[in-house]
Structures are given as structure tokens and as C-alpha cells.
Amino acid sequence: MGCPGEAVLSGQWGCAMKASLGNTGTSRNHRVLITGLLGAALLLAACGGGADDGGDGKSKQARSDTTCDGRIEGTAHVTVWFHAGRSSELTTLQRQVKDFNKAQRQVRVELVTLPEQKPYNDLVLSAAASGDLPDLLDFDGPRLYSHAWSGKIKPIDSCVPQNLRDDLLPSIRQQGTYAGRLYGVGTFDSGLGLYVRPSVLKKAGIRIPKGVADAWTADELTGILRKLREAGYKTPLDMEIQYAVPGAEWGTYGFAPAVWSAGGDLIEPRTFRTADGFLNGPESVKALTTMQAWAKEGLIYTGKDEKVFVEGRSVIAWAGHWWYPDYSQAHPGDVAIVPLPDFGRGTVTGMGSWQWGVTSGAADGDAVWRFLAYLLKPEQINRMTEANGAIPATDSAVKLSPVYGADGAERLFIEQLRDGVARPRPQTPAYPAITDAFSEAFSKIMRDQAPVKATLDAAVKAIDKDLAAHDGYPQSGP
């Protein structure tokens, strides 16, 4: 719930997605059979030409983007797809749709019920192939670039007023931008760090970082884990390795920050033309070798029990924002959040979560935006983030949540998103191939103790093969 990707995590606060634990790339091609879609024909709205960045970080939107023109013709009908089945997120969105429809008559919103037995991303890909996408589509943030490049969604620069754009967290704007244009916007973002038990660390004489400036180094954390094991904690660090399986987004979201922190990357970060020398470069190899050593030494939990921190068997957890309610309830007054370790170039953390986009087949962009603007109101953002525990997407909504205040328990998460400590996953249409390759490599390295360099070389070959097959993903599209 509110977590990046489709990882299945903790009980009522977990991200209840598909059983296969994550986005699985573009290899599957199920046919979507969905009833209840509107009978009215969907007219293809003009997307406009590509816009250059104006030099100030803002897209030259008004000259070419006609997704929104400020008019809604008659009574408009909008269909919506949402990723989370049987969750507090879905229940909240259902109530928001009901309240929106009740409050006005010009736009009627239908939240389409999707087959739960099929992975969400497979449904999206199949619907795109058959022309059955809804008007408003929910998708995992880093998949935006693939959707934008392939023409599934269109830019929304002309829809988003400047005051709202300014109110959005910088991470939300960054995640939603492709080729200098805004294609998506989310109502929440994510947080990632180390959860620790201060009482245990203090008893063991271990310092507790106060913020990003004094994060533990990777070597320091190694020593800390050994010390905690000597204190009686057999596996002191829980990294939720059971969810870092091939095709699962947790592997990339959770552990790419270690590669970045070491000075490595998943792909060349400027042109996105190759992964060679970056994912398999010495910095990346060093970071993952350090993490593999933790596993070899038995310092991390590698079983399937997700309650090792809750039950006190591990006292440090490498985890996301969605765990805070369970952890703090299990250890009242004895849970703190500190930055991820510094692998050499400073601490880095992950960012990005689910976003909304207007599909290319949406007949009336203004009608779709009318509903999306409602979801972005501070009180509606707060309504959703109270349900899923995620970080509110706007500064005005953040002010409604005391946990992000100066002394708030989750203050670190918002500071990381605002101050540039958080990094987006690679902003390229090749991302589905990148995350598939990295998640598989990470799983082999950590779970199977595979040779680090050789495993990363194989991942590089898979990524570069995809890049070659798509001619490097030119911005002009397929």
C-alpha cells in the first residue's frame, strides 16, 4: 500500500499486490477481457508535438500540448484503473469517486473492477495492445517513461496549474517528467531507510545517526552487525530478502541505492545508451560484494518470516515507509528511522511510487483532469496517505501530517525527498528491462551467492540487448 512496485509486504499495512511479488516486465501478453467500460466512443485527443525544456526546468507546454483546453463538453464520462485490489487504498479511492460524483454533475467517474487473478501491469500492456485502456491510468512511477515513449499516455502540462506544480514535492515532479514534459503526477511518494531499536543500540554502545550527514558507512554497519550478533541477535539485519526475487520491484527499489551510494549506476545516467561499465563497473561490484558478504557471514535474515523485526529477532530493518505503523506498534517509543548506509559517495535512498496518467485515448482531458485535481487536494491526499502510510505528494498536504514535522517520527523521509538524497530509478523507457535484469542479478548474488562481477555482466548484456532492439529508445518514439 503506497509502496513502489508491486511487492507484497506486511499484513494490513503491506502492499497487497500480485502473488508474484513485482512488476514482471513486458514479456507476458495476456488478453484483457473487461466488462463495464463505457459504450461511448473514445476520441483520440491531440497530444501535440514534443516540447523542449525552457531552461528553467519547465516545459514549453502551452504551445503544443492540447490535452487540456479548459473546456468540458456536456456531461463527460471518465473510466479509471487502479492497481490495488482489496486494500485500504482501494476502499479510499472508491469513497473518493463516490464523493466526487456526488459533489458535481459535469463529470461522471467510473472505477473499473479489474480481474484480480492477472498481474496489473500485464493488464495494462494487454489493454494497450487492444485499445482498451481507461481514460485515467494508475501505474508504478518508473514505468511512466515506457508508457510515454510508446504513446500510451500523453503530456499533462496544459492541465496542471502553476500553483499546483509549485506545491508538488520535487520528487513527484521529477518522477512524472519525461523528455522535458510532465506526463504523470502522484498523490503520494515513498520513503526508504533503516529502522532501528534505539534501546538495543544504546545498550550495545552503538551510535545512532542523527541524519543524512552522519549516516553509518557500509564498513561501520558491518561492524555494528557483528557487535549485535555478539550481543545475542543471530541475524541482526532484516533486508526482506525473501521479496527480492527476479521480477520483483523490491530488489531494484530497495537496493539500487547501495549501487548509487558507491558511485555506480544501473545504466549510463545521461544518455541511457548502455549499462556496460556502470552496472558492472567497479563501484557497483564493490557495493554488492559488501552486501553479499553480510549474507555469507549470516548477518542478515534470509528466511521467509516477515516479522523478525516486529518480534525483536532483528533490530535493524532495511525497509520502506509502509512498515512504520507495524514496527512502531510492536515497539512503542523504541523505533527510529536513520539513513541507509554510505557505501562511499554519501547516503542515497529510493523514491517514486504510483502515479496517474491521462491515456492517449481519453476523449476529454479536461474531464479527466477535473477528477485528478480533486484527488490532489490537500485533504484528499491526506485521506489517501492516512490509509496507506505513504508520504503526501504536496507541501500543503505534508503540513497536515504531524509525523513529518520538525520532531516527527518520519521526518527523515520527507527531508530525503526534498533535499535530493532520494534518487529516481532510471528515467528511460528501458526501465522494465533494467529492473528485470537487476532484480534477477541481485537475487542471484544475495540468495544464491553467485559471483558478483559475472552476474552483473550477464545483467548488462540483457539490458544492452533490449536497448539495441529498440534502437536506444529515441525520444521520437517507436
pLDDT in tens, 338-366: 999 999 999 999 999 999 999 999 989 99
Check whether residue 204 and residue 283 sit in a common domain.
yes
Check whether residue 346 and residue 370 sit in a common domain.
no
126 DSSP 8-state letter: H
State percent of the chain over pLDDT 70: 87
Residue 441 lies in a domain: yes
Question: What grid cell was written down for 122?
Answer: 500485464
Strand partners of residue 139:
355
CB 1 within 8 A of CB 326: no
Q: What is the dihedral of CA 306, 312, 316, 318, to 10 degrees?
A: 10
User: What pLDDT band is residue 40 in, cutting at 50, 70 and 90?
Assistant: very low
Residue 345 sits in a domain of what CATH number?
3.40.190.10
Question: What grid cell was written down for 288?
Answer: 554488492
User: What pLDDT band is residue 3 in, cutting at 50, 70 and 90?
Assistant: low
304: left (phi over 0), alpha (psi -120 to 50) or beta: alpha
Residue 159 lies in a domain: yes
- Point out the domain boundary residue: 382, 400, 418: 400
Residue 478 lies in a domain: no
Check whether residue 185 and residue 210 sit in a common domain.
no
pLDDT in tens, 461-471: 999 999 999 99
Asked which of 46-50, 139-143, 295-299, 369-373 is least confident by mean pLDDT, the reply is: 46-50
pLDDT in tens, 205-255: 999 999 999 999 999 999 999 999 999 999 999 999 999 999 999 999 999
> pTM (2 decimals)?
0.86
How many structural domains is the chain composed of?
A: 2
Give the domain extent around 449.
192-350+427-469
The per-residue pLDDT for 84 is: 83
Q: Is it the case that residue 193 has pLDDT exceeding 70?
A: yes
Check whether residue 131 and residue 180 sit in a common domain.
yes
Q: Is it the case that residue 382 has pLDDT exceeding 90?
A: yes
Check whether residue 213 and residue 281 sit in a common domain.
yes
183 DSSP 8-state letter: -
Residue 227 lies in a domain: yes
Check whether residue 168 and residue 208 sit in a common domain.
no
Residue 40 lies in a domain: no
Check whether residue 211 and residue 356 sit in a common domain.
no
Residue 34 lies in a domain: no
Q: Is it the case that residue 449 has pLDDT exceeding 60?
A: yes
Check whether residue 336 and residue 433 sit in a common domain.
yes
| Mean pLDDT, the chain, integer | 88
* Cα torsion angle, 444, 450, 452, 457, sign: negative
Check whether residue 346 and residue 357 sit in a common domain.
no
The per-residue pLDDT for 49 is: 31
Check whether residue 186 and residue 200 sit in a common domain.
no
Using the CB atoms, write b or e for 226-255: b if 16+ within 10 Å: eebbeeebebbbbbbbbbbbbbbbbbbbbb
Check whether residue 269 and residue 120 sit in a common domain.
no
- C-alpha 456/C-alpha 440 separation (Å) is 10
The per-residue pLDDT for 115 is: 86
